[in-house]
Amino acid sequence: MEIKLVGIVGAGQMGCGIATGFSAAGYEVKLMDVDQASLSRGVANISQDLDRQLQRGKISQNSRDATLARIYTTTELADVGDTDLVVEAATECESVKQKIFAELAPHLKPETIVTSNTSSLSITKLAGRSGRPELFMGLHFMNPVRVMQLVELIRGIATTRETFETVRVVVESLGKTPVVSEDYPAFIVNRILIPMLNEAIYTLYEGVGTVADIDKGMKLGANHPMGPLELADFIGLDTCLAIMNVMHDGFADQKYRPCPLLVKYVEAGWLGRKAGKGFYDYSGSVPVPTR
């Protein structure tokens, strides 16, 4: 299968990062979102990111302009139907994703490969709503897409070898390194990472340490580039909670129980960096711990 035109569903941080990665590698891209304002913000963010790379000498002016020129936007899901590869990058909610795949199915070409950037949900289950489970698989990019070199490839029970190999070659053409995960809740990276972040939140919840000391301890004691609470804020506390709930439900094991403090922060709308407040307050020039 030859991939030339890629459709990205969702113009949030991940969708825009994925769109930029494909476009920079020479693919034509259709970026879709139901909200025109989200699309406009997304394209503005893409442009700003490319401008920063240009100023740092990482890309040329021609490369910057060509990357932007290869990205087309639309608010109509049907417009994505003529692409060779679809990457769904909507919010981490099973019902939202299933609705997208069900509505998209009638508009797709017979040979179009459909993928989901889900960070935790069952690929086999999502494939069941796609109308083409043999042409469906998980394609999980890491955040931020431009910086992170890893992409997880996840086959559903019906995914064909040809589909898998086509997507693997595409990932390598982006300059990324693929790893293969079986279709279990949260796959490889998040199954290891998110429970660690959840445990850090328990450590705060139980009064073992402060936000600053927990993060400092892991940065200096385990040589992590970011502390776990800082990283949870960066990922988004709602996303962390959603992944923990998927693992808790999927494995029926209490070790995956979300920390009550994580639940409370999400209920309060303290979702991390994107909300301006989480375990840190981002309203000033320097983030300040909220506890």
Catalytic residues: 119, 140, 152, 190
CA 101, CA 130: separation in Å to the nearest integer? 5
**Cα–Cα distances in angstroms (integers) from residue 169 to residues 185, 266, 270, in the given order:** 25, 38, 39
Amino acid identity, residue 246? V
- Kindly give, in sequence order, each residue whose CB lies less than 8 Å from that of residue 147, ignoring residues fewer than 6 positions away: none
Q: Return d(Cα 163, Cα 169) in angstroms, integer.
A: 10
Q: Which amino acid is at 258?
A: P
Helical packing angle, 13-24 and 61-69, nearest 10° = 120
Contacts of 213 (CB under 8 A, 6+ apart): none
| Calpha distance 264→151 (Å, rounded) | 31
**CA distances, 182 to each of 24, 124, 153, 227, 253 (Å):** 29, 11, 9, 28, 19
Provide the 8-state DSSP code for 84.
Answer: S
